Structure 1
Amino acid sequence: MKKLFRHFLTAFLFVGILASCETSDPLIQEAQKNIFTQNYDSALAILDRSIQANPNNGVPHYYKAMTYAEQARTIQPVSDRKDNYRNFRESILTARETFDAMEETPSEAESVTPLVMQTWGFEHNASIEYVNDDSVRQSVPNPLEISVAH
């Protein structure tokens, strides 16, 4: 039940973040659709085009970070998520720096810290289950290795 609630809460937060960050940029809108439908490679390609078109805009960097975070959740084994999280970190830091330099701060700037906390919280909570939950711990041969990988 806790696991179902956690997944529901994560999905709710993700949809809430997307809904609160409306934009008039058609490339960003298309990327948002691709993120929501889990077409991560398409979203990344669109966001790269948006960055090339306007490198001083932090919004595509923000959504690129979101794409890497959401894509990481789908990668198994967990230890293979490291590259996604490196890219997430690079994109979110670039987004934050770019937002700071922009004259008009977009609404996405307020969602940078919540996105970082949500992403970190997902991995943290998943790792704790392998340590604290007996049924989860017994479901895999090396629970501590999986926990550390999260």
Structure 2
Amino acid sequence: MSKFIMLGALAILALPAAATAKDKVDPRIAKSLQCTTIADGAQRLACYDEAMAGLKQALEEGELMSTAQFKPKALEGTVVASGGMGFMRFWVELDTGDRWELIADSMTDSPPRKGAKAKLRKSLMRNYFYTDTYSPDFQARFLGRRD
């Protein structure tokens, strides 16, 4: 039974954030989900064993992302790159590999400078605020990590 729980957790953890729609689910995950419809225990276990092999190989080859990609590595770092993302929005990458979207409060704001020491803090509403030595405070949203 623990193997079934492990497979279910792996399937959920391996889903990219954008792949929540049924038609966007990785075929290897869809195959493991089909195993739940098999009534016979031995056949269901064989199905899970086969599905787990495909998922394990996909994770090892980097074809599926773990949820670690969706959590910041650190809440401080040095800006290594930044730029515009559209009206009053910027992106920034820190030396930790974390990438953030920054939302400006004013049209006069500009992207953070390379080399700036940045700090992020989590608010009560589960979003973040970005500050550095040269820029005003920005609302921030974690975009992922370059690994």
* TM-score, length-scaled by structure 1: 0.29
Larger radius of gyration: 2
* TM-score, length-scaled by structure 2: 0.29
Which of the pair is proportionally richer in helix? 1
Which of the pair is proportionally richer in strand? 2
